[in-house]
Amino acid sequence: MGFFNRKPKRVALVLGGGATRGLAHIGVIKALEENDISFDYVAGTSVGSLVGAFYSAGLTSDEMIKIAKNLKVKDIKSGIIPLVPSKTDGIKNLIINNLGDIDISQLKRHFCAVAVDVHSGNEIDFTSGNLANIVAGSCSVPGVFQPVKYGDYLLHDGGLANNIPSNVPKIVFDCDKVIAVDVNSTRGQGTESDKFFDTLLASMRIMMKSNSLKGYLNGDIVIQPDLKRFKSTKLDYVDEMIMEGYNAAIYQMDSIKNLINGKVIKEKIRKFKVNKHTF
């Protein structure tokens, strides 16, 4: 009797944080689309929550690529005064202008955005609430962006607590399996630069390195685009970053299909050849 009552397996897509290198998430999604793989459950941290929101709203990878190619750093980070964190209005406007001023519950896919409440120090996993404000909070890197006031919360970047939130879909959506994307895996933790934002972001990466481990422990497959040559503060190589995500997903596609079809294969680190392509 238990056999016939067995619930269908729920597989989630989890997108990790990594600032502008998170554009590689779009390439991963494109590869999945080309192989007729979609997800009803999505979770994301920081830029992963931003891309995850667009994906959960039903946008295709091609639609996201078009938006990414027209994006400038000044559209996201509006502050011009050195050492003064920027407001998150650019992130909010990006969401509202493309998706509308909507609630997370209005998305086409089940979606969870991960942020940190500065008041309590706790990780907050949002499955409802204003999409623009919550995602802006999840993307609010300390020192780069001002925290986002949302209800009783003061939200900062979710990567402070859970940069690859592979455990979250299993908790909030009762998912069985998780395919995660780590856009920081091949990036060195430090920096040779003496510039303020470079050293600040390097400090963040060092801090997030340990909390990313649980993303691997809870992820059944972790896709790792090779993004070590890209700076997390630049939007100069959109095509190349998207292509790295695409290649990394294609390389693991057999494992992804096996996992979705019920053949459990845990593959964490795989090397792959980079193909040249322009989207």
Question: How many C-beta neighbours within 10 Å does residue 9 have?
Answer: 12
Q: State the helix-helix crossing angle for 131-138 and 89-99, rounded to 10 degrees.
A: 140
* Nearest residue to 12 (alpha-carbon basis) of 47, 46, 54, 56: 56
Integer Cα distance of 84 and 257 in angstroms: 46
What type of residue sits at position 103? D
Predicted local confidence at residue 209, as pLDDT: 72
**Quick one: pLDDT at residue 277?**
53
* Sequence-ordered strand ranges (E) for the chain: 11-15, 41-45, 110-117, 123-126, 148-150, 153-157, 177-181, 221-223
Task: Show the domains of the chain with their CATH numbers.
Answer: 11-260 (3.40.1090.10)
**How many Å apart are CA 38 and CA 240, to the nearest integer?**
23
The token duo for 227 is: 């993004």
pLDDT tens by residue, the chain, 279 residues? 444 455 568 999 999 998 889 999 999 999 999 999 999 999 999 999 999 999 999 999 999 999 999 988 777 876 555 567 889 999 999 999 999 999 999 999 999 999 999 999 999 999 999 999 999 999 998 888 999 999 999 999 999 999 999 999 999 999 999 999 999 875 555 566 676 666 766 776 677 677 788 899 999 999 999 998 887 677 788 999 999 999 999 999 999 999 998 855 444 444 444 444 555
At 240, which amino acid appears? E
In order, the DSSP letters of 14-73 are: EE---GGGGGHHHHHHHHHHHTT---SEEEEETHHHHHHHHHHTT--HHHHHHHHHT--H
The pair of three-digit structure tokens given for residue 180, joined into one six-digit string: 């995660």
Provide the 3-class DSSP secondary structure of residue 105.
helix
